[in-house]
């Protein structure tokens, strides 16, 4: 009996965590953070034209996503697609952070 209760409790906790991940506000916050990271990476890291276009596209897509999360249509998107969206934003965020960290410093002197 206790095993069943524990399994039920764990399932409820997992559902709540899952629902927080796909909530419009969470995705909007992630999109805003990713937009800012793309903007900073554009300014700080010396990038080639292809990467610059990619960063600008990310910024524009995140602006569109932030607008979409404020509309009722966002709630009609299936939960799995919203979870995929959340995971995609997380992966893109990690890629931008890695590329910004791998970029050479602007000056040879240590600050």
pLDDT (0 to 100) of residue 21? 79
Q: Is the residue at 7 inside a domain?
A: no
- Among all chains, which residue has been given the structure tokens 């000056």? 107
Q: Is the residue at 42 inside a domain?
A: yes
The pTM assigned to this predicted structure is 0.77
Q: Is the residue at 85 inside a domain?
A: yes
Q: Is the residue at 102 inside a domain?
A: no
Specify burial of residue 13 (Cβ count, 10 A radius: 0-12, 13-18, 19+). Answer: exposed
Q: Is the residue at 88 inside a domain?
A: yes
d(CA 82, CA 75): 9
Q: What is the span of the domain harbouring residue 83?
A: 19-94
Counted domains in the chain: 1
Contact in structure between 39 and 63 (CB atoms under 8 Å): no
CA angle 81, 83, 86 (to 5 degrees): 110
Q: Is 103 helix (H, G, I), strand (E, B) or coil?
A: coil
pLDDT (0 to 100) of residue 16? 81
pLDDT (0 to 100) of residue 98? 86
The DSSP string of 22-45 is: TSHHHHHHHHHHHHHHHHHHHHHS
Spatial CB neighbours of 106, under 8 Å, sequence gap ≥ 6: 44, 46
Q: Which residues of the chain have pLDDT under 50?
A: none
pLDDT (0 to 100) of residue 106? 65
Spatial CB neighbours of 47, under 8 Å, sequence gap ≥ 6: 41, 55, 103
């Amino acid at each position: 009996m206790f095993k069943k209760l524990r399994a039920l409790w764990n399932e409820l906790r997992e559902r709540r965590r899952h629902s927080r991940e796909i909530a419009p506000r969470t995705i909007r916050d992630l999109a805003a953070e990713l937009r800012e990271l793309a903007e900073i990476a554009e300014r700080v890291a010396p990038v080639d034209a292809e990467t610059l276009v990619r960063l600008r596209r990310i910024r524009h897509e995140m602006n569109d996503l932030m607008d979409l999360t404020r509309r009722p249509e966002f709630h009609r998107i299936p939960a799995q697609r919203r979870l995929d969206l959340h995971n995609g934003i997380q992966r893109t965020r990690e890629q931008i952070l890695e590329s910004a960290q791998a970029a050479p410093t602007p000056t040879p002197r240590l600050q």
